Structure 1
């Protein structure tokens, strides 16, 4: 009998790449991949352990899948990823239904671990989180066929005061440039048109391996690859965003006029307490330089409200900064107190009800800013990558200003369009986060 395996991937795109590698390794070991949980003999959850809501989602997903051991074909349930790395011993005690745990460093062993648990051998394999995939490893893509994530590095050395990632993913380690190039080349040969470069700290790429920030050189090498239409940068730590990187982005038309730039706050004292390495003045100058050199670019950022020591005055500085900067896309998160982090040990924690109130105030402000920016696009004509048909003659797609999965979309009327096809679209309307338009067939 062929053993069928299903993997549920939670959390960020970096975790998704690990999931795709595990799927590739299992496929090559003779297992059949199924998208139907009820048909799987082996269920794997690749978990996220970044903040409390992510941990809760991971636990709830595990509990939901346990039922397939009673009502489905499931013979083994495994928990992988960051939650296993940080809490496997506790989880093994609390969740006896789980047959095995493996950390991010054990990804290459997934096939043998599955074989062991199918033989009734419960296992916990959580070593050093030092795995780094390369272009020679198999991947089963879980994204639509026209885009893919490429992880250029793993781990993190920044040690932000609120963050457990260095404990869960290990120190920062870059892939070889040749390996990234060969993977991108292979993906485009398979029809991938958009590559999203990702890491815990994408702008740090190369420093550990080559002694210098090498993302500009990598961009220049990847941009000419045949078949590549868009190259998108995600998870860019602001302190490592060099003038050379801005220059490389501006020089390469295939680089999306888009950047994901997590800034976290806009109060210098809080930034220092978080061990962030940029001041508000430096961040303001970086945004100014990006917009001057890449006109029309979309900037996505994320901010944390309710950090220890965040007074009403400091929170107001964040609101003023948002109003001043007018970022195209913003994610706001309430601070999650994590054990084994400097911020978690601080005494001046903000009450949960205050965090929640500040979250809603920040989101309401950004919603109004986003609505205003969106309206500015009405009447313009832009190229759109079609993603899916939602009903006859009605499609969803993205321009270079929208990253998949995290941003809004463009809803367009058209005819006989296919997923992965490009359309010329005139924007006719806008709401807070999405645009609406119509396909036009005019020349030019």
Structure 2
């Protein structure tokens, strides 16, 4: 019955959607985008610039004059996946430009694949364009090659990721993102709001706010105000909520000031959904991780959020088997889960990452112990999810329609579900008048471990 396996990786972006045909003789570029939604936004920006210069975008290797591979370098397993994708692009096309997080280690890439045309680092848009120009010179037709007002998007028309900042100021010992993407750099608030306005005008019904640390938005520019918009997450959330689309907040660190956002959810300006990377619950484990929230009384904060907004949905990710994690610390985490009752949970087994300070910590956990703890953790998370979804049977839910298949089954999401990483709600009757992107009301009549089923009201 379940559609989402418990080992679903919450850090992966949606699959690319490329289908625009090229005109005869038009230079064409392919794109492989790996990693998180933030990388997907980078891919969208690169392709938007290329489309503005007259390039067509190919959905496959064979139709492309060259291929850009936007890589992920967060985990060693992600690095291996990126190298594999580069190798596949070289084998299928032969002309490959590499960018993204793994591009911060060019020798690592060229050591494995010396035939790549160029390597650039994360969000180095100009260098990517220079590499494309060298490999495939542009040949625009000003009477035909017009850029859509909303730019190139790699997600369905009805939802879009909205990146509000780059980089991160934290120094968590297991993470190398600050080394790859640098310190926090917030976008001006008026630029974010203007982009959101254009997206909503073009038909976007849901804005997914993303960054490395959404709570810290604007701190680097002293929460500057420009053109009537203040660069603070509270103000930005209110400004975005006024546009009339669903607004979903991702990657919000569990600082006490998050409590200021929850009233906006209770008011209906922002979706009652918080994606908060807790990573662990035991204070000593969090200290070894060097988490900025190590001293936060998270259970008290969760209770406060739910008191303000009883319908709030909480999503998080955790790491099990972190160096030094004892059985007592892990059991503390399981007991904490019983108390916290989080709605959506993802979990990783710890692995060393080249350059991470956690590699040097003592007490590395044996692989079989990490696997056993992961199994126990996910069993706990699954049972909580199943009970919470069962409690929704008989309720009315607003859902957004993501897809309608040939058999007339509609795949939808409630306000509690982010695309690609959370569950779905399925409608299998009376969908002949539904359209993708439509928001409708459904009565829930069945629940599984991760998904719901319902009928149109």
Structure 1 length-normalised TM: 0.90
Which residue in the other structure is 1:229 paired with?
Answer: 245
Distance 1:82 1:240 in 2: 31
- 1:52-83 deviations in Å (ceiling 9; x for gaps): 221121112112222213xxxx5x21111001
1:343 Cα deviation after fit:
0.9
| Structure 1 equivalent of residue 397 of structure 2 | 382
CA deviation digits over 1:363-391, x for unaligned, max 9? 11111111111101111111111111123
- Residue 163 (structure 2) pairs with residue 145 (structure 1): no
State how far apart, in whole Å, the 2-side matches of 1:233 and 1:188 are. 17
- CA deviation digits over 1:182-240, x for unaligned, max 9? 00011111011110111000011011112588100111122212xx3201100101126
C-alpha separation between the residues in 2 aligned to 1:186 and 1:108?
24
Gaps of 5+ in 1: 120-136
Matching of residues 144-183 of structure 1 within 5 Å? 144-183=156-195
Match of 1:267 among 275, 282, 297: 282
Unaligned segments of structure 2, at least 5 residues: 1-24, 138-148, 225-230
Structure 1 230/204 Cα, relative in aligned 2: closer, same or farther at 3 Å? same
Comparing both chains, which one has the higher relative contact order based on Cα–Cα distances under 8 Å and sequence gaps of 6 or more? Answer: 2
1:83 counterpart = 2:102:
yes
The within-5 A match list for 1:34-433 is 34-69=58-93, 74=94, 76-85=95-104, 87-118=105-136, 139-211=151-223, 214-225=232-243, 228-239=244-255, 241-251=257-267, 253-279=268-294, 282-413=297-428, 414-416=430-432, 417-433=434-450
Report the more deviating stretch, 271-280 or 46-55: 271-280
Structure 1 counterpart of 2:56? 32
What is the CA deviation profile of residues 300-350 of structure 1, one whole-angstrom value per residue up to 9, with x for unaligned ones?
Answer: 011000101001111111111111111100000011212322211112211
Deviation at 1:44, TM superposition (A): 1.0
Deviates more, 1:275-284 or 1:333-342: 275-284
What is the CA-CA distance between 1:101 and the residue it aligns to?
A: 0.8
2 CA distance for matches of 1:248 and 1:426? 25
State how far apart, in whole Å, the 2-side matches of 1:385 and 1:34 are.
29
Which residue pairs with 2:142 in the alignment? none
Other structure's SS at 1:254 match: coil
CA distance in 1, matches of 2:35, 2:260: 31
Q: Secondary structure at the match of 2:261?
A: helix
Partners in 2 of 1:41 and 1:240 — Cα distance?
51
Give the conservation status (yes or no) of the 8 Å contact 1:22–1:139. Answer: no
* Aligned-partner SS, 1:191: coil
Tell me what 2:143 maps to.
none
Q: How far, CA to CA, are the matches of 1:343 and 1:204 in structure 2?
A: 24
Q: Give the CA deviation at 1:138.
A: 7.4
Q: Secondary structure of the residue that 2:306 maps to in structure 1? A: helix
- Give the 3-state SS of the residue equivalent to 2:405 in structure 1: strand
1:266, 1:317 within 8 Å by CA — same for their partners in 2? yes
CA distance in 2, matches of 1:153, 1:39: 34
Cα-Cα RMSD? 1.8
Which secondary structure state, in structure 2, belongs to the residue aligned with residue 256 of structure 1?
coil
8 Å Cα contact 2:215-2:233 kept in structure 1: yes
Which among 25, 42, 45 is matched to residue 21 of structure 1? Answer: 45
Q: Measure the CA separation in 1 of the matches of 2:238 and 2:343.
A: 26
8 Å contact kept, 1:100–1:117? no
* CA displacement, residues 116-160 of structure 1 (integer Å, 9 cap, x when unaligned): 2348xxxxxxxxxxxxxxxxx974111100010110111000111
Question: 1:391 and 1:376, CA in 2 relative to 1: closer, same or farther beyond 3 A?
Answer: farther
Given that residues 267 and 318 in structure 1 are in contact (C-alpha distance below 8 angstroms), is that contact kept between their aligned partners in structure 2?
Answer: yes
| Pair 279,115 (structure 1): closer, same or farther in 2 beyond 3 Å | closer
The alpha-carbon distance between structure 1 residues 340 and 415, as it changes in their structure 2 partners (threshold 3 A), is: closer
